[in-house]
Structure 1
Amino acid sequence: MSQGKKMTGGEAIVQSLVRNGIDTLFGIPGVQTYGLFDALQRNGKRIRVVTPRHEQTTAYMAMGYAKSTGRIGAFSVVPGPGILNTTAALCTAYGVSAPVLGITGQVPSDYIGSGKGHLHELPDQLATLRTLTKWAARIEHTSQVPEVMHDAFRQLQSGRPRPVVVEMPWELFTAAAPVTPIEPPAVYPQIEIDPDSIARAAALLKEARNPLIMVGSGAQHAAPEVLALAEQLQAPVVSWRGGRGIVSDEHPLGFTCASGFRRWAETDVVIGIGSRLEMMWFRWPDLGKQRRLINIDIDPVQMVRLKPAVGIVGDAARASRGLLEEIRRHEGARASRTEEFLALKARTHADIQKITPHVQYLAAIRQALPRDGFFVEEICQAGFTSFYGFPVYQPRTYVTAGHQGTLGYGFPTALGVKVGNPDKCVVSITGDGGFLFGLQDLITAAQYRINLVVVVFNNGAYGNVYRDQQRLFEGRTIGSELSNPDFVKLAESFGIAGQRVQTPAQLAQALERAFAADAPALIEVPIDKDRETPPWEFLMPAPGA
Structure 2
Amino acid sequence: MHNCGTLLPRLLAKYGVEIVFGIPGVHSVELYRGLEQSGLRHVTPRHEQGAGFMADGYARATGKPGVCFIITGPGMTNIVTAMGQALQDSIPMLVISAVNRRADLAMGEGRLHELPNQGALVSGVCRFSHTLMDVRNLPKVLARAFAVFTSQRPGPVHIEIPLDVMVQDASGIDDSAWPLPSPPAAASRDIEQAAKLLGEARRPLLVLGGGAIGAAKPLTALAEKLGMPVINTNNAKGVVPGSHPLAVGGSPSLKHLRQELEQQADVVLAVGTEFGETDYDFFFLGDVDIRGKLIRIDIDAAQLCRNVKADIPLLGDAGETCVALEQQVTAADVEQQRAGRQRAAELRQQEEALRHEGYQAFFATIGEVVPEAIIVGDSTQPAYFAQVHHNCELPRRYFHSATGFGTLGYAFPAAVGAKLGCPELPVICLTGDGGGQFTLNELSSAAEVGEQVIFLVWNNQGHGEIRRFMDERDIAQIGVNLHTPDYAALAEACGMKGYRASDPAEFERCLRAAVAHSGPSLIDVSEAGLASGYPW
TM-score by length of structure 1 reads 0.91
CA deviation profile, 1:218-277 (whole Å, cap 9, x unmatched): 111100111111111211111111111111111111222157447344222211101112
Are the equivalent residues in 2 in contact too, given 1:12–1:179 (CA < 8 A)?
A: no
Give the equivalent residue in structure 2 for 1:26. Answer: 21
Change (3 A) 1:288 1:159: closer
The CA deviation string for residues 390-419 of structure 1, in whole angstroms up to 9 with x for no partner, is 221101111222311111111111110011
* Counterpart for residue 269 of structure 2: 271
Residue 274 of structure 2 aligns with an amino acid whose one-letter code is: R
What is the DSSP-based 3-state SS (H/G/I as helix, E as strand, rest coil) of the residue aligned with 1:375?
Answer: strand
Displacement of 1:179 in angstroms is 4.2
Q: CA deviation at 1:66?
A: 0.6
CA contact (8 A) 2:300 2:315 kept: yes
Give the stretch that moved more between structures: 504-513 or 522-531: 522-531
Cα distance change of structure 1 residues 286 and 478 upon mapping to structure 2, 3 Å threshold: closer
Q: Deviations over 1:297-323 (max 9, x none)?
A: 111111221320000011101111111
What is the TM-score normalised by the length of structure 2? 0.93
**Residue in structure 2 matched with residue 60 of structure 1 by the alignment:** 53
With 455-464 and 248-257 compared, the bigger mean Cα shift is at: 248-257
Correspondence list, 1:72-471, <5 A? 72-181=65-174, 183-255=176-248, 256-257=250-251, 258=254, 260-261=257-258, 263-264=260-261, 265-278=263-276, 282=281, 290-305=291-306, 306-328=308-330, 332=333, 334-337=336-339, 338-352=341-355, 355=356, 357-371=358-372, 373-401=373-401, 402-471=403-472
Asked whether the equivalents of residues 381 and 534 of structure 1 are also in contact (C-alpha less than 8 Å), the reply is yes
Distance 1:320 1:492 in 2: 49
Secondary structure of 2:438 counterpart: coil
SS in 1 for 2:193: helix
| C-alpha deviation, 1:490, in angstroms | 1.1
Distance 1:531 1:315, change over 3 A: closer
CA drift of 1:202 comes to 1.7
> Once the two structures are superposed, what CA deviation does each residue of 1:314-366 show, in whole Å capped at 9, x if it has no partner?
110111111111113x75554324355335423421331xx353232122222
Structure 2 CA distance for partners of 1:506 and 1:254, relative to 1, 3 Å: farther
Do 2:147 and 2:180's aligned partners in 1 also have CA atoms closer than 8 Å? no
CA contact (8 A) 1:27 1:77 kept: yes
Q: How many angstroms apart in 2 are the aligned matches of 1:383 and 1:368?
A: 18
Query: Could you give the per-residue CA deviations for residues 165-194 of structure 1, whole angstroms, max 9, x where no partner exists?
Result: 110012332332434225334542432421
> Percent identity over the alignment?
31
| Mean Cα deviation higher: 201-210 or 293-302 | 201-210
> 1:363-395 CA deviation, whole Å, 9 max, x = no partner?
222222223x20111101111111122221101
What is the 5 A alignment of 1:484-495? 484-495=484-495
Q: Is structure 2 residue 38 aligned with structure 1 residue 17?
A: no
CA contact (8 A) 1:459 1:529 kept: no
Going from structure 1 to structure 2, the CA distance change for 1:498 and 1:287 (only over 3 Å counts) comes to: closer
| Displacement of 1:159 | 0.9
Q: 1:342 to 1:386 in 2, by over 3 A?
A: same
Instruction: Supply the AA of the counterpart residue of 2:381.
Output: Q
One-letter amino acid matched to 2:494? F
SS of residue in 2 equivalent to 1:202:
helix
**Partners of 2:289 and 2:80 in 1: CA distance:** 41
Cα distance in 2 for residues equivalent to 1:186 and 1:108: 31
Question: Are residues 285 and 324 of structure 1, via their aligned partners in 2, closer, same or farther at CA, if it must alter by over 3 Å?
Answer: farther
Gaps of 5+ in 1: 1-5, 538-545
State whether residues 492 and 498 of structure 2, in contact with CA within 8 Å, keep that contact through their aligned partners in structure 1.
yes
Q: Does the CA contact (< 8 Å) of 2:7 and 2:175 recur in 1?
A: no
- Which residue number in structure 1 is paired with residue 501 of structure 2? 501
d(CA) in 1 for partners of 2:420 and 2:431? 19
Work out whether residues 185 and 320 of structure 2, in 8 Å CA contact, stay in contact via their aligned partners in 1: no
- Aligned residue identity for 1:486: D
Q: Which moved more, 1:525-534 or 1:246-255?
A: 525-534
CA distance in 2, matches of 1:391, 1:361: 14
User: What SS is found at the alignment partner of 2:456?
Assistant: strand
Count of residues paired in the alignment: 524
**2:451 aligned partner, one-letter code:** I
CA distance in 1, matches of 2:365, 2:207: 28
Distance 2:34 2:110 in 1: 28
Aligned letter for 1:313?
L
Q: How many Å separate the matches in 2 of 1:287 and 1:155?
A: 30
Cα distance in 2 for residues equivalent to 1:397 and 1:271: 24
Is contact 2:412–2:443 with CA below 8 Å preserved after alignment?
no
Q: Tell me, what secondary structure is at the counterpart of 1:392?
A: coil
- The answer to whether the 8 Å contact 1:364/1:505 transfers is no
Q: How far apart, CA to CA, are the structure 2 residues paired with 1:288 and 1:65?
A: 36
